Amino acid sequence: MTALPPLILGSTSRYRRELLERLRLPFTADAPRVDETPLPGEAPAALATRLALAKAREVAARHPGALVIGSDQVADVDGEAIGKPGSHERAVAQLRRMSGRAVVFQTAVAVVRPDTGFEQVERVPVTVRFRALDDDEIERYLRLEQPYDCAGSAKCETLGIALLSAIESDDPTALVGLPLIRTSALLRAAGLDPVRQAR
Phi-psi region of 171 (alpha: psi -120 to 50; beta: other; left: phi over 0): beta
| CB 175 within 8 Å of CB 17 | no
Per-residue pLDDT tens digits for 128-174: 999 999 999 999 999 999 999 888 899 998 999 999 999 999 999 99
**Has domain 7-197 been given CATH number 3.90.950.10?**
yes
Q: Mean of the per-residue pLDDT values for the chain?
A: 95
Query: How buried is 129 (Cβ within 10 angstroms: 0-12 exposed, 13-18 middle, 19+ buried)?
Result: middle
Instruction: State the pTM of this model.
Output: 0.91
Q: Catalytic residue numbers?
A: 72
Q: Which of 76, 93, 74 is nearest to 84 (CA)?
A: 74
